[in-house]
Structure 1
């Protein structure tokens, strides 16, 4: 039997998830099917047991049930103060989120998981408060009933005839570390209610007549048991897939998203299917060209449906187009969708039946499993949207229609007087209808134009003229065909115009996305990436953008990118707005305007992040009651995803450079230690040996002077070595301050001669200057060191009695200084590496063995820091020439 080994990426994913678990708080849900089953009691009982074991556990918020048994368990528990909020002249009590975060216990008890917070709270829902507590590493115990699960909302409503408004997303429920089902028999629950253990007597009587019937409670209990079983099955399948014991094929369930009120039912059904099959959940919205003309209610409803699908775990895709069935079928085919859930409108049968949406979709995708969910006809009245569309007819379009009709009539009269047939005149009016379809964006006007075209044609060009009668019996057919031709041609032209407009918009946005991708590929700086995405988002969304760069676990100062219409964006970077950005950075979630978290902000905030790290925060300015369209949201997420990938790439590149730099530093340190340990032993041994001889023996003056000279030479060699080491280190790490001034080159060289190796008396050193008044822009003390090193190098690598020349000449705004000798020269191989650190040329000169290879490396660093260059060439007839350049300064002549 072959053993299936886990893939490396699966192992890394498992390790990462385990690491996340150690930092993330754990959620435990006490789950029931109705109020009074004992969820809060069970939670407090377990909390008391944990408290007795020494665990730091507090009550963050417990609903004041006034139930003696429940309240008794709170005795001895630390109860944190609640936050009081005034709303509509009522004093509301809310959980103090910031107080819990400041207290930071190990476990906090939070009752009523699905509660809606008061207006002005940080989050719209309490489950979002709990998510922030979990993100801070605090474990949470909470309670929730089955009717508060989002995907089961419509089923619960059909059972209880009550639509619950406080709901939690299924993902929150499924991602809980533990779900404990608190269950009692419905008869026992009703008995508790009658005894007044759940509600007061007056409330209990009303509840027994409506919600608390045995039939409804039994159905809710069954639903709770099934939901718990689904969660257990989901966890089991996940564990099997991770362990590799069973091959698991994911289903892809897609739901069509629209502005219909009953679309919620389709979305919840698709979510339950995805949950049952353990598959991927996709929400597809096809944006038609005329949706922009829809009413505000439809736009708001569409946003709500998309938000619902996202809450239930759907990945939202938006495509522009008019043929919705064809687009859905093609997307399903290319994306490998296995099941499609759509709504069915309960429309009346028409006089001339046509292929329905479902029938056409079935023909286009015969291999796709299609689940059709009936809509509720009472919820959707399409006439409302049409009415709003009609009201948007502008006087400008009416004027265009009149002008087009008048021009067509004038041309027709001209044709009539020229003797053209009626068929030619009809073509003119049909052409006018096509032009109206191109220039006018209203179907009602094109319809009216078609009618008036027929009426005017009848009035002016058919016998008897100037009346609406017709002698010829074939004229009614002619009129009807003319009307249809004008109407069809105008509608086709209008449709082509709308499609061209939509395609132009898509092409523009696609081009911006491609440009963004190209610009991000070329950019290698996080600040530059932030500027690119800000500029591109302004083009895409036509909104003001604020970018916050993250550095060292904090957000830096915001950077505004405004549209041409905006003159001042200070309102977007106030302290309160920056606080929202900081919250988004810390919690890795969206917030701000149009969201349920800190919704009073003026901007919509999103984190630029990948799975592991947040690189910054982007803020999109929003107007009051304004929302991003679905297609705009997808574009925004696409740009931010590209930006996160680019920033991750840049961060990795920077980390790689740092690692390489660190490796080079380690290599430099190792080489330095190796060289020092080997090459410093000889002078140190010589110094200590000579000093010992002086202490122990009585030498004559000549021998004593010779020994002291040797000690002096060795100590000076060590001093120069240390100076070179310090200079190289300071220049390389940028800590040496280079102060360049206009300096006399002759003075610099004379200063260098004072510090040249004392063995220079054994050599012939000559200075030849083209101009004694040569000025250079330099730090004199560093250039002195360069000349000293070059001359000492010539002394070290040439035999005694050699001649060393120092020449200077001015050329092209630079001054070149040459140090040449007539020694043995430098080989071609050595020339390529002579300025590398710790490199020494292989020569037969004995004194060269004491070199660490730092002098020439220091010269190169100093000259480069001055904006010059340094190299070495052969001397004629023998020897080597080291030459370097400095920036020349002009001599100021005062008259």
Structure 2
């Protein structure tokens, strides 16, 4: 196998990376299309093989889900004790990271890599626990389904109609040391389902009709196979780099389109795109800029950049490379990216250049293992690629000061040679002129260097070779001297100009890296959006020669020129900017959307969401066509967006801290006052009851006063109880007594408690017949329903009906309480759940606005939610959502996963692990 000589710097970097990998643990992922294909079983089988080889292995977390064969495979293996973490009223069991680090086995099994840890754990995600284990030098085996990969989340939700909330960053998958695909054909998986080897028998029919439809399984399997193939391809490329393998391995077809000044144009780009589409393979498009090509006229450079942009629009990976030899750079790029086919334009034959090889021939000779495809050009394209004499003249005219300085330099070299002529021989005089050629080439480039070579030969011949002051020579040997002198001068000038070009390229790259570093440093210290805008504006102007403005979003996701920098762009079109923000795509100059605009609008994409729009007015719009410049601009925009998001969350954290402290203080005051009021209120109520029972009984007027006093004390006592309950709920001190309860009983007890309030009202209760048992605190949920029914009786006409409905929806049970009153205040549907907020402030109905706040707190404590809305037919509707949970099965151990089959969590193996609802 041919091996290329490694670059010393690359070799050093790889040795250092290998040293880091040697200290780090190895991650092995068992990857599958969906639950039930046997990932956990395969992982346990591999772990048992390691045990046979004497490896110190323990189980960190393994979810068997009651599958007998999996439990048998795990039997006898050492298990780390799980850690209990209090969460609300429960104590949940989670992986003990500190215990694993203290035990420090050689290998640990961590099932379900995408699992979300209980709040209060060190890391929110299990994959972060795995990262810490790997950093400690512990090898890890884990499992992942394809739907848990972050980049495939939207794709799979579009296929199955079910969104997965627990995901793993693709970087974790891509950087794993080994990925094992655990595959099972859809028919076999469906057969396992029917045999009860994946879920309980009574759940199979629902599973097959929902997530486990055959079409879904086929699509998921294809995605898993493709993602594994991509991962294997990456492993192959990394191996080739590590082993310095030169030949291209034809594991799959891939294309490289070469764009040049005379053999690119649009036809080669479109041909490559069409061929890549037909073969369904990736393709790249590159332009190699050499010192000679730097002298291209502006029109040709613009055509090259336009072709590169076209290639990018057609799906190619584009790059602008630099080097002295186009053939070498092209072949090296193809080898580095394992591209097996190179597409070039066919050179137009010219008889007077018969001794020159075409670009295709040169590439074929340098890389005989690669396929070179030549694309013929039309006559019109040939005319475009012919050299324009006017371009050459214009180029020389623009550089006339450099050519003049070359002539002056040769003249000065002649004067110096004249002074030294009596002392030194002619060979030494020749060195003076060669030095002049080198200096001119180094300072002014290739063209002036060529002129200096010819002038040096002419001056040397005319002034120093006998007969002097004549171009005639007395000895024909001097002709050889002139020829060698001219050739050496030309070669030296070429090499010097090339070295200067390479130095300029390296300087430009170093400047770009330094600019990114300085920008990152300054942005990390910025504390205000205005500071971020000023930093971004300064760096963009320095690196891209553009005027920048920043448009940030307000509370309603509308852009506004809130930052001072936006005032520098008077032509900003907020409509185009809003379109770019709403669609998350660039618009304006240099794009395919509203390209006539003189300004480029680039959305600021932060990790969590879009943060605004960057508006750019480029002095030279052609710079947007250069892939490296566009990538630099995208990097700037990303850094700015992340900085804006960081500042936003710093502000959110500060406001949250203030709110928490304010709430804590207010709850403490309310709790203290409420406790102090309970004793006198209890005395007032007892006194009223005593007065009502006195003998002789009070008169009618006295009884009315006593009952009014008692009712007022009772309302005040209810208010005090609400305040105390609110304080306890917000402090987290309320322990829910959750039991598996039928919802029908809770609704019935609530109606019984409100019988007096609802007397004379029509009631309509519609509960779905297949409602599952719910894991809830019946007293608390009854309190929620009682509050809602009391509100309905307060704010609706006395004889208006009240409706209660319950149904299964996705992974929860939805309970709805509807009335036929005036409905909720417009645009205050969320505000009514805040403390001391009332639906209508002018209402004469008693209350201070705590009932709905308590309802929301109770629902959140159950992992559910509550919201209100005004119905189209009139009246208010309160929608309660409760999680279905996993009720105990009737066979004594396996959770009833069927109750959650409508949601994604039950489709995954992760669903059987008790976790907080998201």
Pairwise TM-score range, normalised by the shorter structure: 0.3 to 0.5
Bigger relative contact order, structure 1 or 2 (CA pairs below 8 A, ≥6 apart): 2
TM-score (norm 1): 0.47
Report the TM-score when normalising by structure 2.
Answer: 0.46
Higher Rg of the two aligned structures: 1
